[in-house]
């Protein structure tokens, strides 16, 4: 796989990830990693992330997701490969 090929992953993040700035942290880390996509809170208390970019950038981004911001506790992340939506930015969805 080429290192410049755009791939996409969906992350479902479990733990104390709402009410701790997780979406803003995710957006900031995505921008720093060159990742496009979106993040949103789910009604079940999880955070859902759609991220796309180069494999190396997604690996770095996932490392940040596993840490989370101060005050968060990431218990588990379910990851799946999805089709790219060819987003041009990284958004926080409500």
Q: DSSP states of 12-74 as a string?
A: EEEEE-SSSSHHHHHHHHHHHHT-EEEEEE-TTS-EEEEEEE-HHHHHHHHHHHHH-STT-EE
Average pLDDT over residues 8-30: 98
Q: Which residue has the higher pLDDT, 67 or 94?
A: 67
Catalytic residue among 6, 10, 28, 41: 41
pLDDT confidence tier of residue 4, bands split at 50, 70 and 90? low
Average pLDDT over residues 54-72: 97
Q: What is the CATH number of domain 7-83?
A: 3.30.70.100
Is there a catalytic annotation at residue 41?
Answer: yes
Task: For the chain, give the number of residues.
Answer: 94
Catalytic residue among 23, 28, 66, 78: 23
CB atoms within 10 A of CB 54: 18
Does residue 1 register a pLDDT over 60? Answer: no
């Amino acid at each position: 796989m080429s290192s410049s090929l755009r791939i996409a992953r969906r992350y479902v993040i479990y733990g104390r990830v709402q009410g701790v700035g997780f979406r803003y942290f995710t957006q900031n880390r995505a921008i720093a990693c060159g990742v496009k996509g979106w993040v949103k809170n789910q009604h079940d208390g999880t955070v859902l992330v759609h991220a796309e970019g180069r494999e190396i950038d997604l690996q770095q981004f996932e490392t940040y997701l596993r840490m989370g911001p101060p005050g968060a506790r990431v218990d588990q992340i379910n990851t799946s490969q999805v089709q790219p939506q060819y987003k041009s930015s990284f958004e926080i969805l409500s």
